[in-house]
Structure 1
Amino acid sequence: MTKRPIIIDTDPGIDDAVAIAIALFSDELDIKCISTVFGNVGLDKTTYNALRLVKFFGKENIPVASGARKPLLRDIIDASEVHGKTGMEGFDFEDPDMSLLCQESSIELMRKIIMESDEPITILPIGPLTNIALLLSTYPEVKPNIKEIIMMGGSTGRGNRGVMSEFNFCADPEAARIVFHSGLKLTMVPLDAGVRALITKDVSEHIKTLNKTGEMFYSLFKRYRGGSFETGLTMYDSYATAYLLQPDIFKTVDVFVDIETQGEYTSGCSVVDLRGFLNKEPNTTVILDTDPEKFNEWFIQSVKRCC
């Protein structure tokens, strides 16, 4: 079976760690590189965390490169109140080999990988979209060899960082807008899809017994503030990986989406035109719903395949 080549752009982050692990151990994916961006914590920490993860999983052959340290135009924000001050609080990882960090920036590395690939690359951004916006703006020649972009971000309703804005898009609205105006094939896995398929306490207790990855996840989950360990945790970024690997468990719609950058109270809002008020052609596939039982079953089986 030919594996699908992908680039992961990420800001680890506890739920990022889950999404990365599942992708790394999938028989269907060929991870060409991991690109880091500011987000849940600062760039130095997200990059350090990515290197800690590839070491933990025994995947140090996968290139890790660091990208944008701050948004295109805005002041930097983070989500350390959710993920802890290091971004991955709760588990004692070994220190990584920092010499393995690529010397070139992630934007340069992504360009090289995309341009040299024999088949189109899928990009999986699960943090702010700054790196992707810079890539597309600086090197538009990569577009013909990008198969699609499947991103975790946005919301069809209320937000988790602002009244109407989800964290990843709120962190850099201008970057998100560039991506949505890129003309590429886009899939948006929004905030509200994640809250419909929580990782329950029973699932967390079960994966703890599966392998060292499950044990590590369990330790992280105990510290994670994306919901409640007792009533259910939101693993937003893993939903993007799930859609990439098992799209049939999701309900989707093709609609027009744009990003609000000017609103006094709504900056970073993903304007998802579900009822066609704007009379614009669809530019994005948006996840509307998933089957919680099927998602949890997929999640457990995916963790089983990890080390």
Structure 2
Amino acid sequence: MTKKPLIISTDPGIDDIAAMTISLFADELDVRMIVPTWGNVALEYTLQNALDLEKFLHTKVPVVVGANQPLVAPKISAASVHGKTGIAGYEFEKADRSLIKPGLAATLMAEEIKNSPEKVTLLGIGPLTDFALLFKQYPEVKDNVEQIVIMGGNIGRGNHSPLAEYNIAGDPEAAQVVFHSSLPIKVAPLEIGNKAHLLPDQMTKVKECGEVGDMLYALFSHIHEPDGDPHIKIYDPTAVGILLHPEMFTMKKANVEIELRGQFTYGASVINFMDQEHANAEIATDVDLEKFAKWFIDSIEKADQGRE
């Protein structure tokens, strides 16, 4: 089986930790590079969290330092949800910086993509700043990118503002650049993360998946959703699910534009299912919850076995 080469842009973040863990041990994926960016919390924390996770998992994927702020927008934070360092609830052993590959993220990503014999998939589970910089500075890389899979955007109401989802609201201008890249894009919007929750008995099964399960159980138990919803929402892993098992999802084509000027709607994802002529993305509109929960738990178990 040929593995899909993958570059992950991430802002860990509790659910990012789960998405990276699954990706690093998925048989179908060859994670070439992890690019922590500012997002849920500041870059100094997201970078350290990515390094700490790799130390915990005993993996050696190069880590590239991503953007420390949005292109234009004022920086926002989700520390109230994820804790000050982004990973409230679990103390990782602190990693050194030996996995960091020095250089600018856009340049290093461009080199990786251009030198890859197979087309590379981009997974964006934080603000899309680094992918926007990549496409602006090295537009030629698009020829060797297979697709972009994003967790972000919202069909209806938002979770950062009434009409904007956090990852897109973090850098709306970057998101607009990515959606206008003319590349195949698949999106796990906020609604899919809201639906793809785990119930307490399923969380208990996660906890039973060895040390990796313990770690994720501790992290997910400390998420504080702004609306106080007790369900454990699994946002970022839904994007990995779309990449590996699209059959678990109902996908619909749509034209996606990002609102950049509205006083109350800045950062909103305008997902227009009626405009098929200008469709630039496929949006997940439903998920088979039973299959997703089983896949998620199986993936954590696999990661735990692979780590040893």
Fold conserved (TM > 0.5)? yes
SS of the residue corresponding to residue 306 of structure 1 reads helix
Instruction: Between 220-229 and 185-194, report the one with greater CA deviation.
Output: 220-229
Contact between 1:200 and 1:229, CA under 8 Å: does it hold in 2?
no
Listed as ranges, the matches of 1:202-217 within 5 Å are 202-217=201-216
- The one-letter amino acid of 2:108's match is L
Query: 8 Å contact 1:173–1:268 — kept in the other structure?
Result: yes
Match of 1:176 in 2: 175
Partner of 2:261: 262
Residue matched to 1:86: 85
User: Separation in 2 of the partners of 1:130 and 1:280?
Assistant: 27
Give the aligned partner of residue 115 of structure 2: 116
Aligned AA for 1:305? K
Task: Quote the offset at 1:132 in angstroms.
Answer: 0.4
Q: Is the 8 A contact 2:81 2:226 kept in 1?
A: no
Name the aligned partner's letter for residue 301 of structure 2. K
- 145-154 or 226-235, larger mean C-alpha shift: 226-235
Q: Deviations over 1:151-205 (max 9, x none)?
A: 0100011100011100011011000000111111111110011111211111111
Partner SS, residue 48 of structure 1: helix
Report percent identity of matched pairs.
43
Deviation at 1:207, TM superposition (A): 1.3
Spell out, residue by residue over 1:194-228, the C-alpha distance to the aligned partner (whole angstroms, 9 max, x if none): 11121111111111112110000111112112479
Contact 1:41/1:78 (<8 A) preserved: yes
After TM superposition, the score normalised by the length of structure 2 is 0.96
Classify the secondary structure of the residue corresponding to 1:248. Answer: helix
Shift of 1:229: 9.8
**Distance in 2 separating the partners of 1:254 and 1:231:** 32
Q: In angstroms, what is the RMSD of aligned CA positions?
A: 1.4
Deviations 1:126-172 (A, max 9, x none): 00000000000011010100000000100011100011100011011
What is the 5 A alignment of 1:17-166? 17-59=17-59, 61-166=60-165
The TM-score, its normalising length taken from structure 1, stands at 0.96
Q: Could you say what secondary structure the match of 2:148 adopts?
A: strand
SS in 2 for 1:267: coil
Structure 1 segments (4+ residues) deviating >4 Å: 227-230
Contact persistence 2:10–2:36 (CA under 8 A): yes
Query: How far apart are 1:105 and its partner, in Å?
Result: 2.3
Gaps of 5+ in 1: none
CA–CA distance in 1 between the matches of 2:31 and 2:243? Answer: 13
Question: How far apart are the structure 2 equivalents of 1:185 and 1:226?
Answer: 31
2:297 to 284, 288, 300: 300
Q: Structure 1: how far apart are the matches of 2:145 and 2:218?
A: 36
Q: Which residue does the alignment assign to 2:279?
A: 282
How many Å separate the matches in 2 of 1:101 and 1:89?
A: 24
Number of aligned residues: 304
Amino acid at match of 1:15: D
Q: Find the residue that maps to 2:279 and give its secondary structure.
A: coil
Q: CA deviation at 1:67?
A: 1.1
Taking the aligned partners of 1:229 and 1:77, their CA distance within structure 2 comes to 20
1:13 alignment counterpart: 13
1:304 maps to a residue whose letter is E
CA distance in 1: counterparts of 2:79 and 2:97, whole angstroms: 23
> Residues 66-108 of structure 1, C-alpha deviation per residue, up to 9 Å, x if partnerless?
1111010111101000000010111111010113212112222
Return 248-257 or 267-276, whichever deviates more. Answer: 267-276
Q: How many Å separate the matches in 2 of 1:215 and 1:229?
A: 23
- 2: CA distance between counterparts of 1:227 and 1:162? 11
